[in-house]
Copies of this chain bind each other. A is one copy, B any other.
Amino acid sequence: MSKDELVREVATSLRLLQQSFDAFDEAAATALKLNRTDLRALDLLLAGSTPLSAGQLSAALKLSPAATTTVIDRLERARLAGRIQDPHNRRRILVAATDTAREVEQDVYAPVGVAGAKALAGYTTEQLAIILDFLRVARHVQEEQATRLTSARP
- Which residues of A approach B to under 8 Å, CB–CB? 1-3, 6-7, 9-11, 13-14, 16-18, 20-21, 23-24, 26-28, 30-31, 108, 111-113, 115-117, 119-121, 123, 125, 127-132, 134-150, 152
In contact, B7 and A120 (Cβ under 8 angstroms): yes
Q: Is the CB of B20 within 8 A of A143?
A: yes
The 5 closest A-B CB pairs, nearest first, are A13-B135, A20-B142, A27-B149, A6-B128, A24-B146
Main secondary structure of the interface of A (DSSP, over half): helix
Contact A17 B145 (CB under 8 A): no
> Which residues of chain B have C-beta atoms less than 8 A from A17's C-beta?
135, 138-139, 142
Q: Smallest Cβ distance from A147 to chain B, in angstroms?
A: 8
Residues of chain B contacted by A6 (CB below 8 angstroms): 125, 128-129, 132
Measured between beta carbons, the chain B residues less than 8 angstroms from A23 are: 142-143, 146
Residue of B nearest to A122 (CB): B137
* CA gap between A152 and B6 in the complex, in Å: 37
